[in-house]
């Protein structure tokens, strides 16, 4: 039997329970026909949550035993099945998960909403209060960034309830107010956020997330949400602290969709090199790699239609834990999915002991690292990019060795070699 969750479809607080349900294998359904401002003001709803806020969960014990407050709901969902690791596997992990849940709520969510809600018109705008919220948020993100430099997840080696709650809170920020120039100060938080929101269990609930392109301009405070019948715009008085569920997706839908622009790389003069042919040759060559694949690569290579690039991770000294380093590279390749039609890449994780070096080779359509990749994939700025001079035999040999996973590479063994094709 499904648990019923009362909330709108784009409520980040409801996402917490819905994502936890995916991980825990619990069935949770959104109440049908829920309408924000109407459904949560009925007498039946107010019996479940007297403050009239969402989300609220109906439990199998009936409407007399509902649960409100999104963290409590997510905890209930996570604990309604025993055989999952959302709460870790020891008392100390449990305590740390609770610690990060509080941190996510009090230090991250509270400061993001203190910054965003006044700008969106859900609370009064006071410049010194905004300044304090931003300073406090930066302080929290900086601590989080340091923790994530050596940890893939907040606690242990897999997703826990703390990651779910923190990511949902960060989602509101990334989607509506935390622009790239703000988040780039916290590269490990960026890597963590994009890796988690792209996990299938998150993606299924949240969909594809796009980072805010601008900090919203200040709006005048909106009126409180009212049942539709009362025609709130005509009759109700504006109330300074009126708070309404931000329903971003619905807001977005009001804007007419822009026609999809053609990728500028599709407008380049045709190339004799067919990327898929090279990818096939690479995948199908099992023996005599030098003679077959590498030779085939240079026979196909079109230096006018394509360019080759070395990349070098800028923060190798932080690569102190092997699986965190491997996850970092894996996440990068996942995020490069948008460039599959235009790129081929090899990423080497080098060294037999920490700190590991991450170096790569990329083949891109065109003569530059494509701008849409720089714009969309934040990992790009974590690397130093150098165009390969194919007239330099030493550089050409380095290309060959990277394609081939040659060992020892620059005198060191390889921990791993990942291919993007
Ligand atoms: N601390 C609560 C916050 C709930 C909350 O603020 N809900 C908003 C939507 S995100 C709401 O229902 N607003 C309607 C109102 O204020 O009347 C939780 O985590 O569940």
Q: How far is the CA of 55 from the centre of ligand 1 (A)?
A: 7
Q: 185 alpha carbon to ligand 1 midpoint, in Å?
A: 30
- Look at residue 260 in the predicted model and tell me its pLDDT: 67
Task: Give the tokens for residue 68.
Answer: 């409100």
Q: What is the DSSP string of 66-116?
A: EEESHHHHHHHHHHTSSS--TT-SSHHHHHHHHHHHHHIIIIIIHHHHHHH
Please tell me the predicted confidence (pLDDT) of residue 402.
97
pLDDT (0 to 100) of residue 18:
98
The number of the ligand 1 atom at minimal distance from the alpha carbon of 73 is 20
Q: What is the pLDDT of residue 220?
A: 67
Question: pLDDT confidence of 303, banded at 50, 70, 90?
Answer: very high
Identify the residue whose tokens are 């790009």: 380
For residues 227-240, give the mean pLDDT. Answer: 38
Paired strand residues for 29:
4
Task: Select from 54, 169, 230 the residue to mutate for testing ligand 1; criterion: most ligand atoms less than 8 Å from CB.
Answer: 54
Average pLDDT of the segment spanning 395-401: 97
Q: Parallel, antiparallel, or unpaired for β 62-68 and 343-350?
A: unpaired
Query: Exposure of 387 by Cβ count < 10 A (0-12 exposed, 13-18 middle, 19+ buried)?
Result: middle
> What integer is the mean pLDDT of 302-307?
97
Q: In which band, very low, low, confident or very high, does the pLDDT at 253 lie, cut at 50, 70 and 90?
A: very low
**pLDDT surpasses 50 at 242:** no
Between 229 and 143, the higher pLDDT residue? 143
pLDDT of residue 355: 95
Strand order in the sheet with 306-313: 383-387, 306-313, 357-365, 343-350, 414-420
Write down the domain spans for the chain: 1-258, 266-420
- Dist CA 86 CA 72 (whole Å): 14
- Residue 246 vs residue 301, higher pLDDT: 301
Which is it for the CA torsion 273, 261, 205, 172, positive or negative?
positive
Cα angle 152, 155, 160; round to 5? 95
| pLDDT per position as a tens digit, 280-294 | 999 999 999 999 999
User: Which of 120, 240, 245, 251 for a ligand 1 pocket mutation test, highest count of atoms within 8 Å of Cβ?
Assistant: 245
DSSP designation for 287: S
Instruction: Pick the range with the lowest mean pLDDT from 109-123, 173-187, 316-330.
Output: 316-330
* Ligand 1 environment, Cβ below 6 A: 11, 13, 52-55, 69-70, 225, 243-245
Which residue did the predictor score with more confidence, 104 or 1? 104
Q: What is the pLDDT of residue 149?
A: 94
Find tokens 């619905």 and name the residue. 250
Kindly tell me the burial class for residue 84, based on how many C-beta atoms sit within 10 Å of its own C-beta (0-12, 13-18, 19 or more). Answer: middle
Question: Ligand 1: which atom is nearest the Cα of residue 242?
Answer: 16
How is the beta sheet containing 28-30 ordered, strand by strand?
A: 28-30, 3-6, 56-59, 62-68
Give me 397's structure tokens.
Answer: 């040999």
How far, in whole angstroms, is CA 108 from its chain's centroid? 16
Phi and psi at residue 212, to the nearest 5°: -55, 140
Q: Which atom of ligand 1 is nearest to the CA of 41?
A: 17
pLDDT surpassing 60 at residue 252: no
- DSSP code for 4: E
Residues 328-373: tens digit of each pLDDT: 899 899 889 999 999 999 999 999 999 999 999 999 999 999 999 9
pLDDT of residue 236: 36
Question: Which of ligand 1's atoms lies nearest the C-alpha of 55?
Answer: 20
pLDDT in the model for residue 250: 34
Contact 150, 321 (CB under 8 A): yes
Q: Cβ distance 157 to 113 under 8 Å? A: no
Min mean pLDDT across 77-91, 223-237, 348-362 is at: 223-237
Q: Which two tokens stand for residue 189?
A: 């938080």
Reading phi first (left if > 0) and then psi (alpha if -120 to 50, else beta), residue 410 is in: left
Q: Which pTM value belongs to this model?
A: 0.67
Of the candidates 149, 194, 151, the residue with the CA atom closest to the CA atom of residue 171: 194
Q: Would you say 120 and 219 are in contact if contact means Cβ atoms under 8 Å apart?
A: yes
Going by pLDDT thresholds of 50, 70 and 90, the confidence category of residue 63 is: low
Mean of the pLDDT values across residues 154-183? 97
User: Three-state SS for 360?
Assistant: strand
CB atoms within 10 A of CB 19: 30
Mean pLDDT for all residues in the chain? 90
Structure tokens at 237: 């008085």
Which CATH number applies to 1-258: 1.20.1050.10, 3.40.50.300, 1.10.1040.10, 3.40.50.2000? 1.20.1050.10
Least Cα distance to 363 among 294, 281, 420, 288 occurs for: 420
16-30, 180-194, 234-248, 301-315: which range is least confident on average? 234-248
Q: Which residue has the tokens 């018109």?
A: 121
Whether the per-residue pLDDT at 21 is higher than 70: the answer is: yes
- Residue carrying the six token digits 């394509």: 306
CA 285 to mean position of chain CA atoms:
35
Q: Which atom belonging to ligand 1 lies closest to the Cα atom of 51?
A: 17
Which of 1.10.3720.10, 3.40.1160.10, 3.40.640.10, 3.30.70.1010 would CATH assign to domain 266-420?
3.30.70.1010
- Most informative mutation of 243, 247, 248, 251 for ligand 1 (most atoms within 8 A of CB): 243
In terms of DSSP bridges, do strands 62-68 and 56-59 run parallel, antiparallel, or are they unpaired? antiparallel
pLDDT of residue 223: 54
Helix extents (H) in 285-404: 289, 295-300, 322-335, 371-376, 393-404
């Amino acid at each position: 039997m499904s648990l019923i969750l009362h909330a709108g479809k784009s409520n980040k607080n409801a996402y917490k329970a819905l994502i936890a349900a995916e991980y825990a294998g619990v069935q949770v359904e959104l109440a049908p026909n829920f309408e924000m401002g109407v459904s949560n003001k009925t007498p039946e709803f107010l019996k479940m949550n007297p403050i009239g806020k969402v989300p609220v969960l109906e439990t199998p014990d009936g409407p007399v035993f509902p649960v409100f407050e999104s963290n409590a709901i997510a905890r209930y969902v996570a604990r309604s099945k025993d055989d999952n690791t959302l709460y870790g596997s020891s008392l100390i992990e449990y305590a740390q998960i609770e610690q990060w849940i509080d941190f996510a709520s009090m230090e991250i969510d509270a400061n993001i909403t203190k910054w965003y809600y006044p700008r969106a018109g859900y609370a009064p705008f006071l410049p010194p209060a905004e300044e304090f919220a931003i300073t406090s948020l930066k302080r929290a993100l900086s601590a989080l960034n340091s923790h994530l430099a050596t940890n893939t997840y907040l606690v242990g080696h897999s997703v826990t309830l703390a990651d779910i709650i923190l990511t949902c809170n960060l989602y509101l920020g990334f989607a509506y107010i935390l622009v790239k120039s703000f988040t780039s100060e916290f590269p490990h938080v960026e890597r963590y956020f994009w890796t988690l929101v792209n996990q299938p269990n998150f993606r299924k609930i949240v969909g594809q997330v796009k980072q805010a392109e601008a900090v919203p301009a200040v709006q005048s405070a909106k009126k409180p949400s009212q049942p539709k019948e009362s025609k709130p715009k005509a009759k109700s008085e504006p109330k300074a602290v009126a708070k309404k569920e931000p329903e971003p997706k619905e807001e977005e839908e009001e804007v007419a969709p822009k026609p999809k622009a053609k990728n500028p790389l599709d407008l380049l003069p045709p190339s004799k090199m067919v990327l898929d042919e090279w990818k096939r040759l690479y995948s199908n060559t099992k023996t005599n790699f030098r003679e077959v694949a590498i030779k085939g690569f240079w026979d196909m290579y079109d230096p006018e239609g394509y360019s080759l690039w070395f990349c070098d991770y800028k923060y190798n000294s932080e690569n102190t834990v092997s699986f965190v380093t491997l996850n970092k590279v894996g996440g990068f390749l996942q995020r490069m999915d948008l460039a599959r039609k235009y790129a081929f890449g090899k990423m080497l994780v080098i060294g037999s002991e920490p700190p590991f070096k991450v170096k790569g080779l990329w083949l891109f359509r065109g003569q530059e690292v494509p701008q849409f990749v720089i714009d969309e994939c934040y990992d790009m700025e974590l690397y130093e990019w150098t165009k390969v001079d194919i007239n330099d035999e030493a550089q050409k040999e380095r290309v060959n060795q990277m394609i081939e996973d040659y060992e020892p590479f620059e005198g060191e063994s390889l921990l791993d070699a990942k291919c993007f094709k």
